[in-house]
Amino acid sequence: MLLNEAMFYLLAAMALAFSLLMVTRPKAIQAPIFFCGALLAIAGIFLQLGAEFLFAMQVLVFAGGIAIVYFAALLYTRAGEPKTKSARGRRSVAGALLAVVVGAELCVAIYAGRASLRAGYAVVPDRNMETAAVVLFQHYLLPLEMISILLVVMMIGAVIVSRGGAE
């Protein structure tokens, strides 16, 4: 149990540290690396919550695929934060303030609703992934099909969009 908590704190610290680095480091080309680290830490959180399939998907699709695609796109668009100076000082302060306020507000909401939170099973039930598959293919079959159609549309759309219109 103690090990479980230690893992949670380690993964949470990793996720927060990597995402903070991603947002605050000025060089845009470094961002996908930190992004990848944050996503891997979140994948670890999924594993700890007993969502093995989501863990695998997060590692394969996000940390393995999407982060690399972002890296390639950054290289293609001449990575680096834009050089032009504009009056963004005040806007940056306002943006950071807004983000802090939203985070604090969410934490206050969680604190206010803490009475209705309860812990689930201490251990992940056996055949967890099997149950997830049964639920996915029996109760959520229609949404699953819709999601696959969305993926096909996305693939065709991405190809058409990045080809640059009709020749």
Partner 1 sequence: MISPAYYLVLAALLFAVGLAGVLLRRNVLVVLMSIELMLSAVDINLVAFGRMWNSVDGQVFALFALVVAAAQAAVGIGIVVLFFRQRPTADADEMDLLKW
Residues making up the chain, counted from first to last: 167
Whether residue 11 contacts residue 43, with contact meaning beta carbons closer than 8 Å, is answered with no
Burial class (CB in 10 A: 0-12, 13-18, 19+), 92: exposed
Give the span between the Cα atoms of 116 and 159, in whole angstroms.
Answer: 47
Smallest separation, CB 65 to partner 1 (Å): 8
Smallest separation, CB 154 to partner 1 (Å): 4
Residue appearing with tokens 């309860």? 118
Q: According to CB under 8 A, which residues from 136 to 155 bind partner 1?
A: 136, 139-140, 143, 147, 150-151, 154-155
Q: Which of 64, 68, 95, 145 binds partner 1 (CB under 8 A)?
A: 95
Q: According to CB under 8 A, which residues from 100 to 129 bind partner 1?
A: 100, 102-103, 106-107, 110, 114, 117-122, 125, 128
Q: What would the two tokens of residue 161 be?
A: 């969009």
Beta strands in 9-167, from DSSP E residues, in sequence order: none
Total residues in contact with partner 1, by rule CB under 8 A: 82
Residue appearing with tokens 């090990």? 3
Q: Which of 3, 84, 89, 112 binds partner 1 (CB under 8 A)?
A: 84
Nearest to 120 by CA among 48, 41, 57, 12: 48
Q: According to CB under 8 A, which residues from 13 to 72 bind partner 1?
A: 15-16, 19-20, 22-23, 28, 31-32, 35, 38-39, 42, 45-46, 49-51, 53-54, 57-58, 61-62, 65-66, 69-70
